[in-house]
Structure 1
Amino acid sequence: MKTYRIEFTQEIPVDLNTAWDFFSSPLNLTEITPKDMTFDVTTPDMANIKMYPGLIITYKVSPLLGIKLNWMTEITHVKDREYFIDEQRFGPFSFWHHQHHFQETEKGILMKDLLHYGIGWGPIGLLANGLIVEKKIKGIFDFRNKKVEEIFGKI
């Protein structure tokens, strides 16, 4: 299986506590994900849970053609106010490892996402990534970038 690597960065004019509190809450994913994906966190009582290693989060998501899929991720690593990592346990990818990093700057916070993913399915997966998946992922992060600017402002 071929794995792919995509990196996204964004500077936001907020303090570290504000950025961490917003992005480490799975409930805020719905707000920064394109509406056509109908992204819903299905884990009960997430509002009262602080992120920790081993946290399992379940979702319903429609990444393509409105087809709803179950997705489960586990928060595998957390260094408070510095980074956290989520890994898919089951869902649309053969492999999903997503690092979220936060660094204070003179202007606010530099947020960096490092995503490694794999599709599987041999040549069909290679074709799907080239035609659909990579563009869809980049589109999701472009949408997120714009929503984050709407919420927090732009540097």
Structure 2
Amino acid sequence: MKIYTLHTKQNLPITLDQAWELLSDPKNLQKITPEYMGFKILSGADRPMYPGQIIQYIVTPVLNIPTKWVTEITHVVDRHYFVDEQRFGPYALWHHKHFLKEIPGGVEMEDIVDYKVPFGILGRLVHPFIVKPKLKEIFDYRRKKLIEMFGEFDK
């Protein structure tokens, strides 16, 4: 069984409270997701994030095929981190940790995603050509969108 990891960090010139307000509201995920993904929340985003929260989405990650994705918020430590885990969806495993840390001049946002692709050896064969580049593209889009929203971080 092969588990892959995507690890990103981004510094933004905003407060910890601003970063938490953005990330802890599931409705904001649509703002930082590429439009072509057809991201739509079906249910579960009617209140601020809490452990045990189930959120249902529709996404269109590849070949314009709508896919239902159900995640659970399993851990929340206010203004520090939260974890979402896929319960049903396109991955065999999806465990996404979101960390926030106050730094001089802003906040550091760190994401660590551990995931497993479905379809055994076939999934592992297409991973470097389809899955990995698609995830990189999505997180690159998010990085650019956050810079548009909040500006560049001055070092």
Question: CA offset at residue 107 of structure 1?
Answer: 1.4
The one-letter code of the counterpart of 1:36 is Y
SS at the partner of 1:142?
helix
Structure 1 unpaired stretches of 5+: none
The one-letter code of the counterpart of 1:131 is F
Q: Residue in 2 aligned with 1:85?
A: 83
Question: CA offset at residue 121 of structure 1?
Answer: 1.6
d(CA) in 1 for partners of 2:26, 2:137:
20
d(CA) in 2 for partners of 1:128, 1:83:
31
Question: CA offset at residue 39 of structure 1?
Answer: 0.6
Question: CA offset at residue 130 of structure 1?
Answer: 1.2
Query: Which of residues 53, 61, 71 is equivalent to 2:51?
Result: 53
User: In angstroms, what is the RMSD of aligned CA positions?
Assistant: 0.9
CA displacement 1:61-89 (0-9 Å, x = unmatched): 00001100100000000000000000000
The one-letter code of the counterpart of 1:75 is I
Is 1:133 aligned to residue 135 of structure 2? no
The one-letter code of the counterpart of 2:134 is K
Question: CA offset at residue 120 of structure 1?
Answer: 2.8
* 8 Å Cα contact 1:41/1:59 also seen in 2: yes
Q: Residue in 1 aligned with 2:100?
A: 102
Aligned pairs (5 A) from 1:1-155? 1-43=1-43, 46-47=45-46, 49-155=47-153
The one-letter code of the counterpart of 2:41 is V
CA displacement 1:22-69 (0-9 Å, x = unmatched): 01111111110111101111115x24x011100000000000011001
Moved over 4 A (4+): none
The one-letter code of the counterpart of 1:61 is V
d(CA) in 2 for partners of 1:107, 1:68:
40
* 8 Å Cα contact 2:33/2:138 also seen in 1: yes
d(CA) in 1 for partners of 2:146, 2:123:
31
* 8 Å Cα contact 1:2/1:120 also seen in 2: no
